[in-house]
Amino acid sequence: MSSAATTPVPVAKTSDLADGVMREAMVGDREILIARVGNKYYAAENICPHMGAKLSQGKLEGTVVTCPRHASKFDLIDGRVIRWTDWTGVKASVSKLFKSPRPLTIYRVKVEGDNIFIET
């Protein structure tokens, strides 16, 4: 998260997201993943830092999102990498030489009424 002051940007309505649902929102030229888990909302970059797939097309289990391309897993609470790929052995080692694991960028979420805002 950025420490600079930001202006909240509306990205969705709470009524747009049922529990356990993710969707994509555009903020300028950035693709943002918005997810609801219970009564909490999360926002992160939508593009997987491993190979560029849209995370919003993946799977959400609790606060963990799994990339649809190579099954990389990230926690939406803090963006940490849980698993870089589902590859094993030499293939996994070689892939880390070219693309070292990096966490997702996470955005602060604010809910006012039915509006979901993020700070970018």
At 101 the pLDDT is: 81
Whether 33 and 81 have beta carbons less than 8 Å apart is answered as no
pLDDT (tens digit, 9 = 90+) per residue, 13-43?
A: 999 999 999 999 999 999 999 999 999 999 9
- Record the pTM: 0.84
Helix (H) or strand (E) holding 93, with range, is helix 89-98
- 92 pLDDT higher than 60: no
pLDDT (tens digit, 9 = 90+) per residue, 44-77?
A: 999 999 888 999 999 999 999 999 998 999 999 9
Q: Which CATH class is domain 17-119?
A: mainly beta
